[in-house]
Chains A and B, each alone.
Chain A
């Protein structure tokens, strides 16, 4: 199987603390009466790409939203268990959620650039932190757009509306917007599902190149994509973590019957 970057394979079941970016322990989550995540425990390795796969509605989005507490926005959401990022439990009540979200960036399924200029989009997070120095912002915009492989295409129209960009460009702009905050972790929720194959490939390459700088967790419905880009893959079924291993193992020799059924397409 083609890999863009080769490196030693870790055993995700026995990761050391230094190798762990996110440690989830006994996470349970409910929306009202609906139990969505059941007792999930896992360690997500640093500077690697980990993908979450599973049937629609199994709780993938909900799980990655736990990593930056986006679920807090749903009024009837309750959860327990712990999630350790950078050595502290982010599920604590007094966690500074705004700060956490600058540390853990998120990109959504549909590109959602703000109705502002490209420049202002990238600066949004920095400005929220009170950064107003023009030189610093200019540099940050250039660097983030370069990191997101968008600079060459937009450098002459930074002050035009972000809505003139194509879907793929918009998605890269949204990634640049998240990267501007220099996050440790980047959460991508089906980032390519609205894009054509070529643009998808482009974003996949981008992810591979970002691996050096941050930990990436990606939700995808595309088995090939998961196998292609991710180092590790977790399979979720009805809110339970069924199998979690390095992608080569999971896609070639799955341990569980459910996993095999899903990756060979016997589930929907």
Chain B
């Protein structure tokens, strides 16, 4: 397993393991170092631990063993550290998880106002800017229920960008979408990657993963089976399990 050079790493994961209270071992001694501006794609079968890995990176799950350091801040039981890290790490969910009782604008304003203490007017300026970026400026006053799935996910991306994070996590951002809406969301993600955003992307879109990913990791039963450049992993997988998985999904 290759680990990229440490000195420009923004996320360093060292030997983390996670067992859920029901006894399921979701992560088993996982290590990886993610460089600034790198796009790491995570692939693997259902239940292999992809979401758990991602959720550990912003502290939505706690690890049993090992350490995670994000931009120099250790992710431990210290609440203020966890909060600092969450300001630097945005997350996009499969089910969008927009706040249905708030307008699109309010969804994006909220964290700016409550976490950064930004004024209402300044927050809205930023929100409109972010909405323009995902092509939904004119929907600022709509409620999420009025938007298509693809539009909702683009709003969710804008919301995750509201605190100007240095890292974005995507957990199967297109899996809940109708096929005709997948493209618009992937386009936004592609543009973010091109801007140099550091991204960790769990996806079943293998074509997109190979194209946008700098490195790719195949995860199975909570272990990193193979970690390599995205091209190498998709074109010439070395591990039998990786090959078997790719032959099934490609």
Partners in one complex: no
